[in-house]
Chain A
């Protein structure tokens, strides 16, 4: 073997920019943000130690709690409905459907769009006056009203509607891939034993999709917690602050209101939330993987 002495360090050299970028721009920056959340930073970074003052400020802020509550409502509905619709569509598509590829392509195209485009489209369709409300009125239901977009108590649900529209197809694609991976011998054996199709799905196929459920939930939770563009385009956080989510709170306090310390504290809370959701899910996924 001719020896290439360069081969001993080339791989490390190739990886070093990425390693450096990760150490500085991911891990280093997280540390800086955490540090900043314990300082007197307002309009400009000010490294004077402030203890937990910024967190006290954050937790005393009604807007922060509104945004947390909205995230809880949006996140749970978005995840549950997207998964339910996705799973249903995947099971239906799995019945040897003619034109399956075509249908799949239709269900999935919203994933190619920016959330800003989705938000813009739904903002138009849901607007009271010229949108869906008027169609239903034109159909003869003159008293029909649908003003969720401008109703502070209901506006967060319009975000769910648009979010599910965009992401249900994605859940479908993942579930379908999972369904295709289920051992067909087991299903045949169950059919021979006289089990009906719904029973086979309920007792055999869906339980075997456990890992897929975890990963779909993981990704959807991730999309939900990071949700920023969709809300910005659809409601802009309004009416008032009715649809604020933590990502918008963080953006506004950091970049419009000159409250860097509070912004950093809210970003840290977002990181903690993601970790609180991800770690148990990943642990459960690893555990269910080990059992199989």
Chain B
């Protein structure tokens, strides 16, 4: 390839990178500006007199509908919802994947296909009965309802992750262990678990991102006090009392994005693996 076309190549790639980064830069820059500076300055300019006032307000005093104590309570709601939902769905998925690959029985393939099809449904088609059900068992308006829903609809994916991973474990290994007298859980614990590190990371990251970023279940099933941070962010942006505070909006958006961005930065490799594994479902 000629030097000219190589330069051109890098130019396009660099422009695409700038374009991708621009919104993050604009969000950051805006969040550190005062409203006056936003009105007078330029969208992409760096803040001249950086202030963290907008961050403080977004965290602890901005109005999200009727409440005016910022994103803070909802951020903790999200943590309270996400952590148990991720752990429970991952552990069940691991055991499911193990059973489906190394303890096949009549009908286990049918079962797997059935689970897999569940990945494809638009959740709108289960919202109405689920809302009634959560109401009937007293889970409505609570973080338990959201944990329950995320576990139920996350299982298909977590099972898929572990099934595909455990397909690569030779059956002879399991057979040999059985000959030596090891049972179902012993084999899982002693043989599968020690080699499952990477897939656990992939699965946890995938579930964490999905559940943290969810909006639909949050907006439909949460009460005003159990809302996740995505719903609160949307309310914060929509709640306008007089002047629109773009700096507070942007600080709030970054706060809501921080956990998943952090995970992406420290474990991006596994994140990509999860995306592509989730992509070749079926």
Contact = CB atoms under 8 A, between A and B. Distances in A.
Q: Do A and B come from one complex?
A: yes
B137 interface: no
Contact of A6 (B1, B95, B183, B209): B183
Contact of A173 (B98, B234, B276): B276
Interface in A101-136: 103-118, 120-125, 130-132, 134-135
B26 A124 contact: yes
B216 A228 contact: yes
A106 B256 CA distance: 19
Contacts, number: 251
Nearest to B280: A215
A138 interface: yes
Contact of B120 (A92, A122, A274): A274
Contacts of B21: 106
A182 interface: no
Interface string A29-72: 11011001000000001000000000000000000000000000
Chain A binding site: helix, strand, loop or mixed by DSSP? Answer: helix
B121 A112 contact: no
A229 B215 contact: yes
Interface in B213-250: 213-216, 219-220, 230, 233-234, 237-238, 246, 249-250
A103 B234 CA distance: 30
B92 A112 contact: no
B128 A254 contact: yes
Given A33-B125, A254-B127, 10 more contacts: A18-B115, A22-B156, A32-B129, A92-B13, A114-B230, A219-B279, A255-B220, A271-B122, A274-B120, A282-B282
The 7 closest A-B pairs by CB, nearest first: A114-B213, A11-B103, A112-B264, A229-B215, A11-B99, A2-B181, A29-B126
Interface of B: 1, 9-10, 12-13, 16-17, 19-21, 23-24, 26-27, 30, 38-39, 42-44, 92, 95-96, 98-100, 103, 105, 108, 111, 114-115, 118, 120-132, 152-153, 155-156, 159, 178-179, 181, 183-185, 209, 212-216, 219-220, 230, 233-234, 237-238, 246, 249-250, 252-254, 256-257, 260-261, 263-264, 268, 271-272, 275-276, 279-280, 282
11 contacts: A4-B183, A6-B183, A25-B126, A85-B16, A112-B209, A116-B230, A121-B26, A216-B279, A219-B279, A251-B220, A271-B121
